[in-house]
Homo-oligomer: A and B are copies of this chain.
């Protein structure tokens, strides 16, 4: 029974009360992280904001960073569900698919780039791997989508194009979230990438 991530949830919630507590802790962790940064996100502070004691926090998480690991898992799982719901269809215009994905991804991240930016500051190899896996998932989706439209593309190296789209999107959503968001964000990203990708 090889101990994979053996002790992550020390205690598994069996009662209603426990589930509420766990949610409160995760909610508090996200809020504290966004408002006070990683440096301010101490275990005692998170517990305080969650309205519980530190001891309670440590009944559900073995280490401080396990809390943030759970947050990352939550975020990436939501994003993966959006991508998995998409079935690349060559008959739908590439721009339409892309735009829908952008809107969908933005919708499942309530705290948006603010939380994500802070999560990137969490020092932990496990966390970094989870982020990397999330990116590989997006990359695979993009690669499939581009393949479905190969004939219409003016780019040659589809892997390179997927890489460019992924990271350009990340940079723009992270950096320009104050000036650009929602539908306009999706529009501009779609414009940028369709011009980059499509012939004519």
Spell out A's residues near B (CB within 8 Å): 37-39, 121, 123, 135, 160, 163-164, 166-172, 174-176, 179-180, 188, 191-192, 195-196
Contact = CB atoms under 8 A, between A and B. Distances in A.
Nearest to A191: B196
Given A38-B121, A160-B179, 19 more contacts: A37-B123, A39-B123, A121-B121, A135-B175, A160-B180, A160-B188, A163-B176, A163-B180, A164-B176, A164-B188, A164-B192, A167-B176, A171-B171, A171-B172, A171-B175, A191-B196, A192-B196, A195-B195, A195-B196
A179 B163 contact: yes
B180 A175 contact: no
Nearest to A39: B123
Nearest to A161: B188
Nearest to A197: B195
A189 B141 CA distance: 22
Assembly of this chain: how many copies?
Answer: 2
Contacts of A175: 135, 166-167, 170-171
Contact of A38 (B123, B168, B174, B192): B123
Contacts of A196: 191-192, 195-196
Nearest to A180: B163
A123 to B, nearest CB: 4
Contacts of A171: 167-172, 174-175
B168 A172 contact: yes
A174 B172 CA distance: 12
A121 B123 CA distance: 10
A23 to B, nearest CB: 27
